[in-house]
Structure 1
Amino acid sequence: MSELSCLHSRPDLIASCSSLLRSVWPCTKTERLQLLETENCTGFPCSLVLIDQKENKPGSVIGHIRVLQCPEPPESVYFEALCIDQSRVGTGLGVKVMKHAEEYAVSTLGLKQAFLWTDISMKGFYSKLSYQEFTKFGITTVGGNLLGQFSVASNWQGNVPQSGWESEYEDGHFATEDDLREKIIMRKYLTKL
């Protein structure tokens, strides 16, 4: 049986979440996840996790997505670091985590649209969830892309480190438009604007 929860409400699962993220993104610094202990259940940033709960055994994280503030455009949320346990990819858990994150953004945060940044190879997955390519470069997030799969934290111009997270942006690297050629930004309206 699996359940969706804010990681903050289950601090006992931070190590399990760290293992999942490292299995997908080996370059991820473990220290970053320790900072998740200070995240909120009802605000930004927030990690939502899919927990595999077996009877008489401790739960383990089998899915993750991070919810971040997107001040521009207004009433928007930014999703990052969606990952599913490799042995369960293709079983519908990614869709389940995305739907939960969207519901959280609308019902808990009162937001109307969502953005994400992904490889072109994942465009079909997100398109099936009604995300469309967003070609403008004016999006701004707070603390986005800290869990990237790159040797340095990758961010687009205009992204701002969340207060207290500045040290996580190694070398101060911010991606240029050329760096993003294999990546796309996608948007979905979660409610009618």
Structure 2
Amino acid sequence: MATTRYAALLRGINVGGSRKVPMAELRALVDGLGHDGVRTHLQSGQAVFTAAHGDEESLAAELSAAIERHFGFAVDVIVRDHAYLKGIVDACPFPAGELEPKQLHVTYFSAPVTPERFAEIDQQACLPEEFRLGDRALYLYAPNGLGRSGLAEHLARPRINKGVVATSRNWNTVRRLVELTED
């Protein structure tokens, strides 16, 4: 039976003292769903596992429902396989090897997004910050870090993300998820 390594990206947990999801409980929960090789990365909501059934969307829905049953609150989940995660790293439009990891972030989307979604953002006014779209992802270069990024604030507006789940990770985490999902 063929198996695939996946990373589950949980949105908005363990931030500011609310929506706590302890990683040991998350590992047990994913394992209890019948998945193997479960590991977590950091406290910000990444679980890596091997699945013999399902696709990204069904696995995300399964995990989201299990989290809500177990913890009592809804959590948006995006699941991506190793090939996709590696493709995101390989397709990076910025010179990732020359940047500090805090300067580069990837926002993963639950569905494809088009440039029209971001048309209201005046990218020239945000320079030297920049963003580029990828495959269900957005690459954000923020030379002063995400916490000081005006462009990140624009990109996080609800009307820009309407109808999709979006969750961001710094470049260190993006690369680490590729390593953790290798067979």
TM-score by length of 1: 0.26
TM-score by length of 2: 0.27
